[in-house]
């Protein structure tokens, strides 16, 4: 077997920020990901955050709404929002927008572990 590497064109990252009096109080990233299985990209929402003193005021809601609109504008066929276990409030928050629990997310911290060979 031969494994080859090819740089994938068209990858894009969009950062959305919320500001109050010129200060950034929240942000979220939309990663547009392309692959050979679909003509359209898919979107990955990552690192959505609102500063603690501004939570509960609708900032997170507005960020997610803008990220969803941007994903649609970019022609995404699906949008993924990630959250780790134990963040039930966050999970409920995403579900209010129509996201659903669709599977499992696996993670490897590369700086902390060695790559293991699968059997």
Domain holding 51, by residue range, is 12-95
Q: Where are the beta strands (DSSP E) in the chain?
A: 12-20, 23-33, 42-50, 79-81
Q: Is 87 among the domain residues?
A: yes
Q: Is 37 among the domain residues?
A: yes
- Cβ-based neighbours of 80, under 8 Å, separated by 6 or more: 42, 43, 44, 45, 102
Q: Is 23 among the domain residues?
A: yes
Q: Is 110 among the domain residues?
A: no
Q: Is 101 among the domain residues?
A: no
Which CATH number do you get for residue 89? 3.40.630.30
The mean pLDDT value of the chain amounts to: 87
**Total of domains in the chain:** 1
pLDDT digits (tens, 9 = 90+) for 59-89: 999 999 999 999 999 999 999 998 888 989 9
Q: Quick check: helix, strand or coil at residue 119?
A: coil
The answer to whether the pTM exceeds 0.85 is no
Q: Which tokens hold the place of 76?
A: 């995404």
pLDDT digits (tens, 9 = 90+) for 25-50: 999 999 999 888 999 999 999 999 99
Q: Is 113 among the domain residues?
A: no
Q: Which pLDDT score, from 0 to 100, does residue 106 have?
A: 82
Neighbouring-strand partners of residue 28: 16
């Amino acid at each position: 077997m031969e494994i080859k590497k090819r740089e994938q064109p068209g990858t894009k990252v969009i950062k959305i920020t919320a500001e109050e009096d010129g200060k950034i109080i929240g942000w979220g990233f939309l990663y547009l990901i392309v692959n050979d299985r679909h003509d359209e990209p898919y979107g990955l929402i990552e690192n959505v955050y609102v500063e603690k003193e501004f939570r509960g005021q609708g900032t997170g809601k507005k960020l997610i709404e803008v990220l969803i609109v941007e994903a649609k504008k970019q022609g995404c066929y699906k949008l993924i929002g990630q959250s780790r276990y134990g963040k039930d409030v966050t999970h409920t928050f995403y579900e209010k927008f129509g996201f659903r629990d669709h599977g499992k997310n696996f993670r490897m911290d590369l700086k902390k572990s060695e790559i293991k060979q699968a059997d």
